[in-house]
Structure 1
Amino acid sequence: MSNQHPHNSYAPWLLVVGCVIFGMGSLIVKFVPVGGFAIAFWRLAVSMLVFWLLARFFGQRLPASKKARNMALLSGVFLGFDLALWHESIYAVGPGIATLLNSLQIFFLSALGFFWFGEKLGKLQTVSLLIAVSGVALIASPEFGHNQNAVWGFASGIVSGCMLALSMIFIRKTHEAGHAALFPMMMLVSAGGMAAMLLPSLLFDFDQLYPTTCRDIGLILVYGAVMQCFAWGLIAYAVPLLTLSMTGLLLLSEPVAALVIDYFLLNKPINPVQWAGAALTLFAIYLGSLKQKH
C-alpha cells in the first residue's frame, strides 16, 4: 500500500487554484481607483483583521519571543513595499509583465541565501539566472519602444521581487527566533506592512487614498480577505505536501494566469517576441526552483 498522504493528491490543484486566485488580484488593482501604496495599506489592514479573528477563534497566541515578534513585523514591512511596488508595476506595464517580474524573487532568494546564510549557488541556478535575464530583455525591448512608463514599470516590478524575497527571509528568521503559530504570525506580518504603508500612502497617494464607492470598498475587502488570506492559505497548505520541483512548476501558474488576463481581458498588446521572453523567463524561474532541500 502507498504511504502517500491522502491529501497529497489534492495539493497540486489547491496550489494552482491558490496561485490563479492570487494572480487575479491584479484585476482589482487595475480597476479600483486607489493609489498603489494606499491599496497595499488597505489590503494588509483587511488581512490583519481576518488573521486576528482567526487567531482568536482558534485560540492561538502571539509568539512568546520578542525577537520573533519583531522579525514578523519586519517581514511585514518588506511585504508592504513588495505589494506597493507590484501595484505600481501593474499600473505601468500591466498585470502580466508585473507579476512575471515579481516572480523573479526566487533569484533574490538565492542571492540572499548566498550572502546571508552561506548557501552555495549551483550551476543550475546560475544558468537559470542568465536565462531569466535574457527573457526579461526580450519582454522589455518592445515595451520600451511604445510605453513611456516602461522604465518605472520594470524597475518597480523587479524591486518588488527583491522585497518579497526579504519578506520571506524574515519569515524564516521569525521561526528561528521561536515558535510562531500561523495566524498570529500573519497578523503581525500584516500589521508591520500596514504600518510601513501609512506614510507613503499619505505622501504619494493622498489624492487616491480612499475607495469612494461601495463597489470599490467591496473589491478591496475581497482583495484583502480572498487574495491575501484565502489564496495565500491554499498556497501555504499545499507547498509542504509537494516535491520542490512540482512546487516550482505549479507556482508558475500565477504569472501565466496574469499574462492571460492581461492579454485576453485587458487587451494589452503582447507581441511574439514578448511571449517568447515570457516563456523563457518562466522556464528560468522553474529551473531556479530546482535546488536541493537542506
Structure 2
Amino acid sequence: MMKSNINILLAFLAVMSLGTGGIFVKLSSLSSINTALYRILFSLLFLFPIIYKRIKAVDRKSWIIILFSGVFLAIDLILWNTSFQFTSVANANLFVNLVPFTTVPLSYYLFKEKAGKNFLMGLCISILGVIILMWGKFSFSCDGGYKGELLAFLASVFYGLFLLSVYKVRLKVDAASIMFISGLGAIPVLLFTAGVSEGIMFPHTFKEIGILLGLAICSQLLGQGLLSYCLGKISILLSSVIILSQPVFAAIYAYFLFSEILTLKEILGIIIILGGVYYAKKKPIHNVHSYE
C-alpha cells in the first residue's frame, strides 16, 4: 500500500512537470513544431549517456512498439503546440487532458482491464472538477471554428495512444530506455513536419536555448519520464485520471508566475478533482485477463 501511494505521488509529480509544457511553448520564440522538435532532441542528448549500454538489452518487438509510441508522441506534440495558435491556453489545457476518453475503452480492448464503478465515478467527479476549475477561463469562438479545441482533443487521443504503447512494454523495459527510443521514433516525424510546414529553425540566443532546455528537462525528462516510470507501477487507467489534475498545477503556476488570484470556485474545482482521483483509486482496477 505504501509503495502504491509513493507511485501515485510520483505520477502527480510527473503531471506537475508536464504542466510546465504550455508555459515553455508560449515563451519560446521558435515556431510551435520546431519547439516540439528541440524538446525531443535535447532530451535525447541528456538520455544517451544513461542508456547507451542498457539499450542493447531491449528486444526487437519492444523496439518496434516503442518507436511507434514515439510517432504517437510526435503527433500529440504537433497538434498540442499548434492548438495554441487557434485557441487560448485554458481551452487547450482543458481538451488535451481528456486522455481517459481514449485510454478507458482501449485499455479494456487491448489489455482486458475493466474499469470498476468506483473508478468511473471518480473519473466523472474529476472531469466535473476540471470543468468547474476552468469555467470562465475558456470560451468558444465561432470565428475559429473550434479548430484549436479540436486539435487539442486530437492531441489527447494520440497522447493516450502513446501511454498505452508505453504501458505495453514498461514491465520489460526501463523508463529511460523507453523515453530514448520513443524520442528516436518522434524525431523523423517532427523533422519532416517542421520542414514542410515551418522550415527548420535554430535557436540563436542563450535565452532561446534556455527555454528549450527547460522544456526538455521539465516537461519531457521529468514529466514524460516519470510518468513512463509510473506506468510500470500503477494502472494505465489511474494514470489517465491523474493526468486530469494538470489544470490544477497550471492554475497554481499562474498564481505564482502571473499573479492570477485563485477564486473560491477554482479552489473548489481543485478539491473536486483531487477528490475524484482519490475516489478512483479506492478500488483496484479489475484485470479480466493478464497481458503479456
CA gap of 1:92–1:66, structure 2 versus 1, over 3 A, is: same
Q: 1:195 aligns with which of 188, 192, 202?
A: 188
Change (3 A) 1:289 1:106: farther
Q: 1:234 to 1:274 in 2, by over 3 A?
A: closer
Q: Which residue of 1 aligns with 2:61?
A: 67
TM-score by length of structure 1 reads 0.74
Shift of 1:72: 0.6
Aligned-residue offset at 1:204: 2.0
Tell me, which stretches of 5 or more residues in structure 2 are unaligned? 288-292
Deviation at 1:135, TM superposition (A): 7.6
**Residue correspondences, number:** 285
Of the three residues 21, 37, 45, the one matched with 2:41 is: 45
Deviates more, 1:270-279 or 1:76-85: 270-279
**1-structure distance, mates of 2:265, 2:196:** 38
Matched, 1:204 2:216: no
Moved more, 237-246 or 217-226: 237-246
Q: Which runs of 5+ in 1 are unaligned?
A: none
Query: Aligned partners of 2:8 and 2:119: how far apart in 1?
Result: 24
For the Cα contact (< 8 Å) 1:11–1:239, is it kept in 2? no
Shift of 1:190: 0.6
TM-fit CA distance, 1:99: 2.8
The correspondence of residues 10-25 of structure 1 with structure 2, limited to 5 A, is: 14-25=10-21
Mark the CA change 1:199 to 1:238 in structure 2 (over 3 Å): closer, same or farther: closer
Q: Does 1:225 align with 2:217?
A: yes
In 1, the alpha carbon distance for the partners of 2:9 and 2:113 equals: 31
2-structure distance, mates of 1:240, 1:71: 16
Q: Contact 1:89/1:156 (CA < 8 Å) preserved in 2?
A: yes
Distance 2:185 2:278 in 1: 31
Question: Is 1:76–1:192's contact at 8 Å kept on the other side of the alignment?
Answer: yes
Match of 2:155 among 142, 154, 160: 160
Q: In structure 2, what is the Cα distance between the partners aligned to 1:15 and 1:72?
A: 20
SS of aligned partner of 1:192? helix
Q: Whose helix proportion is higher, 1 or 2? A: 1
Match of 1:186 in 2: 179
Moved more, 122-131 or 209-218: 122-131
